[in-house]
Structure 1
Amino acid sequence: MTITIDFFTDKERSDPSLLFNRETEIKEGLNYLLNEGFLLIEGLRRTGKSSLALSLAKITSVKTLAERYGVPSFYYPIIISLEGVNSTEELVNTIINSIISNYSWALLNNSTITDEVKKLINSVKELLSSYKGYQFNLNTPLLGGGIGKNEGKVFIPLNFRSLLDFLYNFNVLVIFDEFQIINRWKDKESFIEDLKYAYDKLYKKVKIVVTGSVTYLKNYFSTEYKDVFHGREINGIWLDNFPINKAEEYLRLGLKFYSVNVDEYVIKSGVYNTFGNPAWLNYFGKYYVKTRDLQESLLKSYENMGSEAKKGLTSIRRVRKSEAYVNIVKILLQKGELTCYEISKNINLKIESCQKIAKTLESLGVIEKNNGKYSIRDPAYFSLFQPTFTELSCPKGDGGKLLLNDLAKLKYNSVELSCGHELLIKI
């Protein structure tokens, strides 16, 4: 693994050489895209879904990388975050403005603007010039590129299917990040119909990647004939947290990158308290490099991850009772497993509201239901509570130890101490 940037960055990574332990997923993703044209990327929170999608775009748009991975053709990247996009009409304008400004090319840090890129951009300009009264403006802000306001947008009179047909004249890879956002759209049915059209008719030259939350993607792309995609088989890649051994390897690599010598006590404590989550490991590693203080670094990493987790919960569908989402997660963190009736009694919430919220949280992969009881599925949400750490010692008396958040006992049956001995901790 060759590192050319800040190792413990919290930014998305588009360079495939910077994706740790994802080589299998990269090869699988390329295979699905090249042969079938459509790919789902699912996974737990902050496990690198967007980074994997960006890496696939990088590989298929840079000649040297394409040759290394056996990609026979060039594909122009069109990377769209659906945050801030509220309809198919806005999506069309997002894509057009993205091409005009060459936004995705710059996002991937691609250097040379090739002839294929120039041809596509010029073709879009020619297309737009055919619309009477259209005011061409290179400075138009990008929808879905971090700007969600209406001011300054240029709206182009094209529907999504017509745009897809136009893009079929080229090789393109379109990434829809945070796909679950379309649940808010009033015209989402027509958008899905257009995706079916692309799947059936345009897959050879218009490749599509969607990323998003767990169950929402399955609701749209189920292979059941009665469901939305009517039995069309869509291949997907699931990204999970790193297994403990890989998380330890990643943390060692990062600390070595910064010439920080640490013992197994720091490595084990860092990994078990962040549950092998890639982004959480980066938070911890960044603070440890800066402070060399184990507990302070863990606390800061919990603070960062907790802020993200709470923001994600309180923004779900722009709900009125967003705090109830946080409260349900918190009570499950405290109690372990509860029925909806037990949850509603603990947080003074109507059982009907609890059932609706629990269903949404389950669809997002935050919680799961087994035998009528809910529990936390994604350990990233353990960060919502200020952690209380206990130092565990090896009963064999050989000096082995581990600093562990008390709540982590809900997740682990056992842990490995710094001495290498296993300790049972399940409560």
Structure 2
Amino acid sequence: MLVIPYFDPKPKRRRIDLYNRRDELNKLIEYMKDSPLILLLGLRRTGKTSLLYTAVNESKIPCIIFDLREIPGDGFIAMDVFLKFFLDKINLFLEKNRGIAERFIEAVKRVEEISIAGLKIRIKNMYRGVNIIELFRALNNVAESIGINIVLAFDEAQELRRIMRYRFTRILAYIYDFFENISILLTGSQIGLLYNFLRINDPESPLYGRAYDKIYLKNFTPRMSREFLIQGYKQYGIDPPEELIEYAVSKLDGVVGWLTLLGYRSVRDKIFNKKIVDEVLDIASRIAFNEFKHFLALRWQARDRYISIMRNLAIRELTWSQLKRLVEL
């Protein structure tokens, strides 16, 4: 069997290619069998997407993956833009699961807003929209008739808050309550935003009081980071300088995505010194800055306050009370 190198920058899809996530993978596969709501959490670049794809591939459980990072822009998402994205993912799933597709197509024929083209569905009027709960109802009925569970996975699920016209917390709560053969899987790297969106502990939230299973992907420890780099270079027959390993471990904070990028770039460019680590740090900082701008795009009224917070934190460590006083000045 061909082993995909640890330093391959694409998401992993097989157990053998994942480094040190065996317990999390086994747990996720178990949850996908019958848990109504699963949260897969972790900071950006900790391997959530790789774990998700590997669990789907290893378990063979039918899964529709909605990678919400694919939707362009930073502000609110127009309904027609979202529906095009949504239907593309549904149709891709039907294309790969023809046994489910034929039954699903038959089930959605009664949905007034839907038209059928072969084994694909279309929305007659994108601007009028569709009751997507009816599509999920049809999917649940098919899963029940076959005796299977189907997973709806929303990657970077906090982005659902940007969608206009649809209140997704209500949709998710309805699926949770009434569709026993569908599991909801939500991944999130902006963990606070995801919890703020779901409001699971808020009595006024549609999802209040719902039980859920949670997996949190931690950053690698220094020992794990060191071993990951050494084993990764070994796959290419490279014995890296100890100085490079120690510098990378001290600077990249155990984030597997940045460790992977370091390995990939250093092997590709044949550079094995501190400079290549600094280049990866620069890329990481630029991505963090872009994510902050994305965060601000939906909070224009509080933009100056958040910028003030970040500027103060960049200068020195502050307690919450100190930060609060500075912002209020």
* TM-score interval (norm. to shorter): 0.7 to 0.9
Question: Where does 1:255-266 land on structure 2 (aligned, <5 Å)?
Answer: 255-266=233-244
How many residues in Structure 1 have an aligned counterpart in Structure 2?
Answer: 311
1:161 matches 2:133: yes
Equivalent of residue 200 in structure 1, options 154, 163, 177 = 177
Q: Which has the higher helix share?
A: 2
Instruction: Give the aligned partner of residue 47 of structure 2.
Output: 48
Paired residues of 2:91 and 2:121 also in contact (CA < 8 A): no
Larger Rg: 1
Question: Where does 1:5-404 land on structure 2 (aligned, <5 Å)?
Answer: 5-61=4-60, 75-83=61-69, 84=71, 86=77, 94-102=85-93, 117-126=97-106, 134=115, 136=117, 158-168=130-140, 169-170=142-143, 171-189=149-167, 191-203=168-180, 205-212=181-188, 213-219=190-196, 220=198, 222-223=200-201, 225=203, 227-289=205-267, 290-316=269-295, 318-319=297-298, 320=300, 328-329=309-310, 331-337=312-318, 351=327
Partner Cα separation in structure 2 for residue 139 and residue 196 of structure 1: 27
Deviations 1:306-337 (A, max 9, x none): 22111111111525486975674354233122
* Closer/same/farther in 2, CA of residues 156 and 14 from structure 1, 3 Å limit: farther
* Closer/same/farther in 2, CA of residues 343 and 259 from structure 1, 3 Å limit: farther
Instruction: Give the aligned partner of residue 348 of structure 1.
Output: none
TM-score, normalised via structure 2 length: 0.79
Structure showing greater relative contact order (alpha-carbon pairs closer than 8 Å, 6 or more residues apart): 2
SS at match of 1:10: coil
Identify unmatched segments of 5+ residues in structure 1.
62-74, 106-112, 142-152, 346-350, 355-427
Over the aligned positions, Cα root-mean-square deviation in angstroms equals 3.6
Partner Cα separation in structure 2 for residue 3 and residue 281 of structure 1: 22
Paired residues of 1:39 and 1:208 also in contact (CA < 8 A): yes
Report the CA distance between 1:76 and its aligned residue.
2.0
* Closer/same/farther in 2, CA of residues 183 and 211 from structure 1, 3 Å limit: same
Paired residues of 1:291 and 1:297 also in contact (CA < 8 A): no
* Closer/same/farther in 2, CA of residues 6 and 304 from structure 1, 3 Å limit: farther
Q: Which amino acid aligns with 1:42?
A: L
Paired residues of 2:7 and 2:232 also in contact (CA < 8 A): yes
* Closer/same/farther in 2, CA of residues 119 and 137 from structure 1, 3 Å limit: closer
Partner Cα separation in structure 2 for residue 210 and residue 292 of structure 1: 38
Paired residues of 1:80 and 1:95 also in contact (CA < 8 A): yes
Partner Cα separation in structure 2 for residue 181 and residue 128 of structure 1: 27
Paired residues of 1:314 and 1:323 also in contact (CA < 8 A): no
Deviations 1:62-118 (A, max 9, x none): xxxxxxxxxxxxx32211022428367765554433232348x7xxxxxxx5xxx11
Report the CA distance between 1:27 and its aligned residue.
1.4
Report the CA distance between 1:231 and its aligned residue.
1.0
SS at match of 2:216: strand
TM-score, normalised via structure 1 length: 0.63
* Closer/same/farther in 2, CA of residues 334 and 8 from structure 1, 3 Å limit: farther
Paired residues of 1:80 and 1:177 also in contact (CA < 8 A): yes
